[in-house]
C-alpha cells in the first residue's frame, strides 16, 4: 500500500493543495515511481485518499502519456510525434529505433530493457526532433546520437548526451545544451 510506504511524502504532497483532488498527478507519480506504472491497486488507493472514484483516476491516467498503465522496460523511450518534431523527422527517429531495437511504439524489447512510446508534444519544440527517456530529455537527435545514447544506456544506465529533466525557463546559457 502506498500510504504505508510513502506516508510522509503523501502527507507533504497533500499539504500543498487546498483542494485535495489537485494532488492527483503528484500522487500518481509516487505510484508510478514505486512500480514503474500505476497499478489498479494504487489507482483505487489514490481514489480513496482523494475521495475520487476509480474511474476519475483512470481517466486522468489515460489522458497523460507520461503515466503508464502497463509495466514498461527499464528505459522508457518516448518519442515526440507532434507537429514540430514530425516536420524534422520524428518518424525517422521511430524508424531508427525500430531498426536498432526491433520494436515499434507500445512494444518492449525481449530483454525488458527498452519500451517505445510515441507521445504528444513534450515542450522542447525548439530542439526537435527529441525524445524523453525515463526523466531525461534528448534533443536535436541524429542517428549518430541515437547510437551513442542506446549504447550508453546499455553499458552504464545513463548517457552524457541527455539534456536533463525538462526545466522552464531554461537556465541562462543553456540554449545550446544538447548540441554535444
Site for ligand FES in 80-109 (CB under 6 A): 80, 82-85
The answer to the question of residue 130 lying near ligand FES (CB under 6 A) is: yes
Give the shortest CB-141-to-ligand FES separation in angstroms.
11
Site for ligand FES in 3-62 (CB under 6 A): none
6/85 Cα distance (integer angstroms): 37
Residue 26 or residue 89: which is nearer to ligand FES going by CB? Answer: 89
Task: Let me know: does 180 contact 140? Beta carbons within 8 Å.
Answer: no
Give the residue among 59, 66, 62, 63 at the shortest CA–CA distance from 123.
66
Give the residue among 96, 94, 106, 34 at the shortest CA–CA distance from 70.
106
The answer to the question of residue 131 lying near ligand FES (CB under 6 A) is: no
Give the shortest CB-177-to-ligand FES separation in angstroms.
15
Helix-strand-coil percent breakdown of the chain, rounded to 5? Answer: 45, 10, 40
Which listed residue (27, 47, 93, 122) binds ligand FES by CB under 6 A?
122
19/25 Cα distance (integer angstroms): 13
156/172 Cα distance (integer angstroms): 29
| Stretch of residues binding ligand FES (CB under 6 A), selected from 40-48, 65-73, 75-83, 158-166 | 75-83
* Cα distance from N-terminal residue to C-terminal residue, the chain: 43
Which listed residue (125, 148, 154, 177) binds ligand FES by CB under 6 A?
125
Residue 84 or residue 113: which is nearer to ligand FES going by CB? Answer: 84
The answer to the question of residue 66 lying near ligand FES (CB under 6 A) is: no
Binding region for ligand FES (CB under 6 A): 80, 82-85, 121-125, 128, 130
Amino acid at each position: 500500500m502506498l500510504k504505508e510506504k510513502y506516508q510522509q511524502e503523501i502527507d507533504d504532497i497533500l499539504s500543498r493543495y487546498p483542494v485535495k483532488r489537485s494532488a492527483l498527478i503528484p500522487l500518481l507519480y509516487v505510484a508510478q515511481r514505486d512500480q514503474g506504472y500505476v497499478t489498479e491497486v494504487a489507482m483505487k488507493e489514490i481514489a480513496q485518499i482523494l475521495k475520487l472514484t476509480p474511474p476519475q483516476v483512470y481517466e486522468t491516467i489515460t489522458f497523460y502519456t507520461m503515466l503508464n498503465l502497463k509495466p514498461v522496460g527499464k528505459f522508457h523511450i518516448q518519442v515526440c510525434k507532434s507537429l514540430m518534431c514530425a516536420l524534422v523527422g520524428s518518424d525517422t527517429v521511430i524508424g531508427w529505433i525500430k531498426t536498432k531495437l526491433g520494436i515499434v511504439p507500445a512494444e518492449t524489447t525481449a530483454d525488458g530493457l527498452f519500451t517505445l512510446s510515441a507521445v504528444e508534444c513534450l515542450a522542447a519544440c525548439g530542439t526537435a526532433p527529441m525524445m524523453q527517456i525515463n526523466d531525461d530529455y534528448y534533443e536535436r537527435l541524429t542517428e549518430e546520437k541515437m547510437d551513442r545514447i542506446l549504447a550508453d544506456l546499455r553499458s552504464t544506465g545513463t548517457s552524457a548526451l541527455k539534456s536533463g529533466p525538462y526545466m522552464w525557463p531554461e537556465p541562462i546559457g543553456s540554449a545550446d545544451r544538447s548540441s554535444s
